[in-house]
Amino acid sequence: MTAHMVTLPDVADLDVEDAKQVLRSAARKNRSRRSTHVREGLVDSWVRTALDFIGNAEVIAAYVSVKDEPPTHELCEAITAAGKKLLLPKLGPKLSREWGWYRGPDDLQVMAPGRPPEPGGECLTSKALDAVDVLLVPAILVGRHGQRIGQGGGWYDRILKQVRPDARIGAMIYPDEYVEAELPQDPMDVCVHYVILPDRWGSVS
């Protein structure tokens, strides 16, 4: 894989939200340089690594990747092919953020512009997370102590506070996005326990 190292700008003099935006911009620019060919070449490795991380867990929550994100379409199929149940984000009434059970790629549909494809069927509230053993979340940067910077909507920070304390939380990122820097965080932010890279996973320090 060709390395596209993230060069993070100095954000020490910025407030937390401005600092996050500057870091997101740098990380997104880095992601945009990674070719479709390279991303697709990581799919099989990422499926194997993520399934190893999931292990014997039976109920998983994950996400459907879009654009330059680590690819998850094949992973979603592999999770259910392994006999596990998979929850995916889903827009509910009045654009509430809810969940739905994955029922195969043909059931996924784009329900709102700019949104990832989502499952059909019943909308489930965050109460459904009570059953989740493993949660795979998107991120754009993760620090060595588990600080996570996402796309900026704040939804996953709320979700991470609602999962069971014993649920395993892993962020799927490219290797160069697991950084040594101390990433800016505010009281809403929740650290992740693990990072899931294409060829390996591990706990954060």
pLDDT digits 0-9 by tens, 147-198: 999 987 778 888 888 899 999 999 999 999 999 888 999 888 889 999 999 9
Backbone dihedral angles phi then psi of residue 58, each to the nearest 5 degrees: -105, -30
**CA atoms 191, 48, 115, 24: torsion sign:** positive
> What value does the mean pLDDT of the chain take?
89
Return the HEC string of the chain.
CCCCCCCCCCCCCCCHHHHHHHHHHHHHHHHHCCCHHHHHHCHHHHHHHHHHHHCCCCEEECCCCCCCCCCCHHHHHHHHHCCCEEEEEEECHHHCEEEEECCCHHHCECCCCCCCCECCCCCECHHHHHHCCEEEEECCEEECCCCEECCCCCHHHHHHCCCCCCCEEEEECCHHHEECCCCCCCCCCCCCCEEECCCCEEECC
Name which of 44-53, 73-82, 114-123, 169-178 the model is least confident about. Answer: 114-123
Say which residue the tokens 């101390």 belong to.
182
What would the two tokens of residue 10 be?
A: 């100095």
* pLDDT of 35 higher than 90: no
pTM above 0.85, yes or no: yes
Beta-bridge partner residues of 118: 109
What would the two tokens of residue 149 be?
A: 């910077």
pLDDT for the residue numbered 3:
43
pLDDT confidence bin for 55, thresholds 50/70/90: very high
* pLDDT of 112 higher than 80: no
Q: Higher confidence at residue 85 or residue 162?
A: 85
The stretch 18-45 carries a mean pLDDT of 90
- Spatial distance between the Cα atoms of 168 and 160, rounded to a whole number of angstroms: 10
